[in-house]
Structure 1
């Protein structure tokens, strides 16, 4: 009985040790993040004008982000990417989600603020894309 328990424990440990700790590379996920980055940074350039005139574009961007989040949420071993997306999209954080809320509340943003935020947000998108591109390719 003890021998069976040890064998079972050993097989669980071996199978756990051999399972991936991060998801495999996904071409669609990589394309999503790079495409959304381009759209987001382009839209941010418009933040010097009234938010109301770009509300539909913001809604479309948020929809694309939500689609990417939903897609990535259902990939196994993808917690790191999911957490990165959550931070990027968080309306209370200082990345894209927070930028869009500030733009909506203030109606316009200064060019200096936009330039500063674009650097931070572009870096965040790049971090997600870099993580995806470095995953194991099958």
Structure 2
């Protein structure tokens, strides 16, 4: 009888995960950690926008590459549509987040401290949304814990 309940529990969990799985990926610690790293680097880079764009080119390229790597990583995870869409918005040079900030910095050569201070909270919030999406995903250890308890 206990084996039947355990099998039922496994089937129930699989049904729940498969119904959720079409829209949500599992929590990924590496994704979470690297997104935090990208956030910190991007916000630190924004503080340098009061300097000439060309003088910060190497750092800009470094942060842009890190951001692009995260986008590619997220894009290739299954059932990760919401997170990918947030990365696309964050990086889009035609939007008013990171991509648009970098584009404006390049076109104006330098940005005012006031502008930087107004833009940073918006970009920080976008990163926080991405991080929030990741923390709400089902953690594999939670699934394993459920399976092992039944």
TM-score when normalising by structure 2: 0.79
In structure 1, the residue matched to 2:98 is 96
Structure 1 residues not aligned, in runs of 5+? 1-13
In 1, Cα distance between equivalents of 2:26 and 2:122 = 26
1:54-112, Cα deviation, whole Å (9 max, x unpaired): 01111111110111111111111000000000000001110000000100110000111
Runs of 4+ with >4 A deviation? 14-17
CA RMSD of aligned residues (A): 1.6
Change (3 A) 1:125 1:16: closer
In structure 2, the residue matched to 1:108 is 110
Change (3 A) 1:92 1:125: same
In structure 2, the residue matched to 1:11 is none
Structure 2 residues not aligned, in runs of 5+? 1-14, 141-150
In 1, Cα distance between equivalents of 2:57 and 2:83 = 27
Change (3 A) 1:15 1:110: closer
Residue 19 of structure 1 deviates from its aligned partner by: 5.2
Aligned length: 125
TM-score when normalising by structure 1: 0.86
